[in-house]
Amino acid sequence: MGINWTKAEDKPGKSQSIQGRILLDLRHKTDNLEEELAKAKNELMTTQRDLSNREINYENSLQEKNDAVNELKKKLGIMEIECTSLSEKSNNLKKELDETNKKLENTINELSDTKSSLSTKIEEINELKTEYQQKLSSKDNKINGLKEELENKPDNTEIEELKTQNSQLNEKINDLNSTVSEKEAKLQDLNNLLLEKDTNIKQLEIELNPPEISVEEDTTFKERTVCPKCGAVGANIKTVEDKTKVLSYVGGRPMYAHKKICKKCSTEF
């Protein structure tokens, strides 16, 4: 006889007669259910552990990403500050370059005026030198004439007078010689000064064409002469006078232009 489930529900305290086969089937089903329940519990625990691990991994990954985002934000802030600083440096350098160019232009104008003034003074000194030389030549002629007169006039009084005149003339000649020497020294100083000014003008003309300025991190400025043929720079480039190009004459001496020669390929430019 099977189990009367309705009767069991109505009278749960009353006993029923049940066949052993039915009890065995019931126990077998119960065991299977318990086994499936245990398996389900294990799977549930495993799933819960996996979910917990995934949650932890997700939280860790999310934290790492947040940290990475914060680090990138910090770097971005630093880069923005550096960009602002570099921009300010670039503007300041441009201002300094403009001011330097203006100063160089003013200096070149001043040197040009000085050169013109020195040239005028040199011409005046040359004229004065010529005048002194003419006077000196005239005095020499007078001295020679007096010497001839002394030889032709044996009168002692006249001889003494002529000696006195000769002594005075010699003193004047010495004074003139000293004056001429001083003027020649001044002329040499002016020639040297003019040569130095010409050199400064050429150097300033070269410096008036500065290289392009690029602003990067750890900014540096470099100006290099590069061989147009082989690309050599620095000590491989030498500067010499170009004897074929005369810029001006100072005190009768020619002032030459300059040219570059590559030591590697001998190219002139």
Q: Where are the domains of the chain?
A: 223-269
Rounded to whole angstroms, how far apart are CA atoms 161 and 267? 74
Instruction: Write the DSSP string, 102-168.
Output: HHHHHHHHHHHHHHHHHHHHHHHHHHHHHHHHHHHHHHHHHHHHHHHHHHH---HHHHHHHHHHHHH
d(Cα 10, Cα 97) in Å, to the nearest integer?
Answer: 108
More confident residue, 235 or 152: 235
pLDDT digits (tens, 9 = 90+) for 123-151: 888 887 788 778 777 777 877 777 776 66
Q: Under DSSP, is residue 252 helix (H, G, I), strand (E, B) or coil?
A: coil
CB 183 within 8 A of CB 128: yes
pTM of the model: 0.29
* Cα dihedral 179→182→183→184 (10° resolution): 120
Q: What is the per-residue pLDDT for 2?
A: 63
Span 234-244, pLDDT tens digits: 888 898 988 88
Residue 9 has pLDDT above 60, yes or no: yes
Place of tokens 């480039």: 237
Give pLDDT, residue 146: 74
User: 253 falls in which pLDDT band (50, 70, 90)?
Assistant: confident
Highest average pLDDT, of 20-24, 52-56, 178-182, comes from 52-56
CA distance 219 to 213: 9
CA-to-CA distance for 64 and 68, rounded, in angstroms?
6
Q: Which of 136-150, 178-192, 200-214 has the lowest mean pLDDT?
A: 200-214
